Structure formats: structure tokens, C-alpha cells
Amino acid sequence: MKKVIVVLAFLAGGLLVNAQDDTGATSEGRWLIEANTGFGGDGLAHGANTSFGLSTSDGSTIWAVGGEAGYFVIDDLAIKVGLGYTDLDGFSLFTYKLGAKYYINSAIPVQLDLTGGSIQDADENPLYLGMQGGYAIFISNSVSIEPGLRYNFSLNDQFTEEGIFEIRVGFVIHI
């Protein structure tokens, strides 16, 4: 019986040491997978969106689904790509994103990206320069919730000259 207790104690100690790995969630060589929700502005209908959303107004329904992934090229700096699909009450919109996300002090994410879309049967398509900042709340070593603010500057004045302000909540898995 003593041998079983000693073996269990060593296993538990090994698990505790392993759980306290000093490799942080934003360390070089790690990956992130991110899903966002967007609120405010014309978030879903602006034509460049890689978040999840649902909006109904005057009998029209707009829904979106998307996600982003990134690789930490150095500690705290991830290069990201994203894809999304939005249904604009019968019109299809595919969205892409390419950017970089930097975690200040491994906890304050700031992001700069280029986001564009392709709207079915449209003469012009959206293109935005996005800036985003927030705070990462780590609920475990590999999961964070990241509320933040985002502003999209229009780069295609033929599509729209207006920028879009959004409140975002991101859900990130760090692997």
C-alpha cells in the first residue's frame, strides 16, 4: 500500500510540475485559434468580417461565421490570417484578413490588419485597415477571453468612405 501511495504522490507531483510549464501562451512557436463576436456600428453588414454574428432588422436577416489563426514568430507577436462568410439577406460575402497581433506584457493585445471581402455580383468590394486593442483575460494557460475595441478605416472609397467602430469579444485558444 505504501508503494501505491508513493507512486501516486510522484505522479501527482509530476502533473503539477508539468501544469506549471514556463512556456507562456504567447511564446514563440505557439499557435492561436480565435473566434470573435462584434457589436456596434454596422459590424456585420460592413462587408469585411471574420467574426460570428446575427442581426435582424425590418425583416432582413444577416448572419456571419468566421475565424482566425496565428503563429507566434517571436514572443508576444503573432502573424494572423482569417476567413469568414456572411449572408447579407441573400447576397454572399467571403472575407479574408491578414495581420499581426502583439501582446504588450503578454496581456494587452493590439492588432493591425488588412481586411477585405468579395461580395457576390458587386462592382466594388470592401477593403479596410483595422486597428484593435483590448485585454486578454486568461482563464487557463491555453484559453483567453479578449474584450476590446476595433476601428476599421475604409481603403476603398468606391465602396464606402466611412470607417466602422466595433466592440469585440474574442475567444482564443493558445496551442
Domain boundaries, the chain: 26-174
pLDDT at 42: 53
The pLDDT of residue 62 is: 82
Rounded distance between C-alpha atoms, residue 173 and residue 162, angstroms: 32
3-class secondary-structure state, position 45: coil
Alpha helices in 28-96 (DSSP H): none
Per DSSP, the three-state class of 13 is helix
> Reduced to 3 states, what is the DSSP secondary structure of residue 111?
strand
What is the pLDDT, as a whole number, of residue 22? 46
Question: Which residues, other chains included, contact 12 with Cβ-Cβ below 8 Å and sequence gap of 6+?
Answer: none
CATH of 26-174, one of 3.40.50.1820, 1.10.150.20, 2.40.160.20, 1.20.120.1200: 2.40.160.20
Please give the pLDDT value at position 80: 97
Question: Cell for 1?
Answer: 500500500
Tens digit of each residue's pLDDT, the chain (175 residues): 455 444 444 444 443 333 334 469 999 999 999 998 876 555 555 556 777 888 777 888 888 899 999 999 999 999 999 999 988 777 888 999 999 999 999 999 999 999 998 887 778 888 899 999 999 999 999 999 999 999 989 898 766 777 788 888 999 999 9
**Cβ neighbour number for residue 22 with a 10 Å cutoff:** 5
